[in-house]
Amino acid sequence: MNKERKLIIAGNWKMNKTVGEATDLIEALKRELGTQTEVDVVVCPPFTALNAVSAILKDSRIRLGAQNMSEQGYGAFTGEITAGMLRDLLVHYVILGHSERREYHKEFDVLVNAKAKAALAAGLKPIVCVGETLAQREDGQTDKIVGDQIAGSLAGLDNNQLKDMVIAYEPVWAIGTGKTASTEQAQEMHAFIRGKIAKSHGEDVAKAIRIQYGGSVKPANARELLSLPDVDGALVGGASLEVRSFTEIITNTLN
Ligand code: PGA
């Protein structure tokens, strides 16, 4: 697929996979995808499987991501994980502000912003998630909600930092529901986000930053979504838990 920016396709395993299951999945993915360089492939296992997956990925092109981290550097924060601990395991990316964290753990833009700064300071690339709920869309608030999430999550970050980041547009109503945004809806929102970034950080940054689509991406719809001009990748939940479906999402985009 001919794209202005290199595609980045990430699997968000969420709260799934024991170490044994993660090992089986990543060994199979490594066989299928470990040497291709056309698309950046990232897997984001739960914290408990990062070490095992990292060891398997050492000599592969697949990159490792985490699903969350603390904004704090170290210390008495029971149950939390720092950016430095993730880097220690050769983690490259970290998902921040996923809608499930926003909804169930009340993580809002100020915190997402602090986490993004801590991630970047440690050399991790944040994948910052934004997206509206169905009620917000039906109420005509989509641009306002997503615009505010972008402004709040990226506040105070400079142009160089932004170029290292990934944005994931994930309409909440499409996550895990089998409903996908139409190609028109996806392209419209991706162009809107890129336009916002052009205004805040300039055209060069807006042209360079990669914006993933997320929400029920599967082999049957991936190619169409990923061929949209402003869609530069996918954040895949359910379909990333199986070798065949995740592999097909990627191979379907290859020329
Ligand atoms: P889904 O999840 O692909 O299962 O809809 C996407 C996500 O939450 O990142």
Ligand 1, atom 3: closest residue by C-alpha:
237
State the catalytic residue, choosing from 71, 107, 170, 248: 170
Q: How many CA atoms lie within 13 A of 187 on its CB side?
A: 9
Q: What torsion do the CA atoms of 84, 86, 92, 93 make, to the nearest 10 degrees?
A: -100
Does ligand 1 lie within 6 Å of residue 65's CB atom?
no
Is the per-residue pLDDT at 255 higher than 80? Answer: no
Structure tokens at 129: 């998630």
Q: What is the pLDDT of residues 91-138, one digit of tens each?
A: 999 999 999 999 999 999 999 999 999 999 999 999 999 999 999 999
Considering the entire predicted model, what is its pTM? 0.97
Q: What is the pLDDT of residues 18-58, one digit of tens each?
A: 999 999 999 999 999 999 999 999 999 999 999 999 999 99
- Separation of CA 169 and ligand 1 centre (Å): 11
- Token pair 């082999």 is found at 219
Provide the residue type at 54 as one letter: S
Percent of the chain with pLDDT over 90: 94
- Separation of CA 236 and ligand 1 centre (Å): 5
Model pLDDT, residue 176? 87
Interatomic CA distance for residues 97 and 115, integer angstroms: 9
Has 138 been annotated as catalytic?
Answer: no
- Separation of CA 164 and ligand 1 centre (Å): 22
Interatomic CA distance for residues 133 and 80, integer angstroms: 28
Interatomic CA distance for residues 191 and 29, integer angstroms: 32
Q: How many CA atoms lie within 13 A of 60 on its CB side?
A: 23
Model pLDDT, residue 217? 96
Model pLDDT, residue 47? 98
- Token pair 């981290």 is found at 69
- Separation of CA 48 and ligand 1 centre (Å): 20
Does ligand 1 lie within 6 Å of residue 221's CB atom?
no
How sure is the predictor about 178, in pLDDT bands with cuts at 50, 70 and 90?
confident
Rounded to the nearest angstrom, the gap between the alpha carbon of residue 7 and the centroid of all alpha carbons in its chain is 12
Helix and strand counts by DSSP (H, E) for the chain: 12, 8
Does ligand 1 lie within 6 Å of residue 217's CB atom?
yes
How sure is the predictor about 164, in pLDDT bands with cuts at 50, 70 and 90?
confident
Is the per-residue pLDDT at 210 higher than 90? Answer: yes
Model pLDDT, residue 85? 98
Has 105 been annotated as catalytic?
Answer: no
Q: What is the pLDDT of residues 179-195, one digit of tens each?
A: 888 999 999 999 999 99
Helix (H) or strand (E) holding 99: helix 99-104
Q: Which of 9, 12, 242 to mutate to test the pocket of ligand 1 (most atoms within 8 A of CB)?
A: 12
CB 65 within 8 A of CB 43: yes
Structure tokens at 160: 């160089």
Given the CA of residue 129, which atom of ligand 1 is nearest to it? 9
CB 66 within 8 A of CB 86: yes
Rounded to the nearest angstrom, the gap between the alpha carbon of residue 124 and the centroid of all alpha carbons in its chain is 13
Cβ-count burial 166-202 (b if 16+ within 10 Å, e if not): bbbbbbbbbbeeeebbeeebbbbbbebbbebbeebbe
Average pLDDT over the chain reads 96
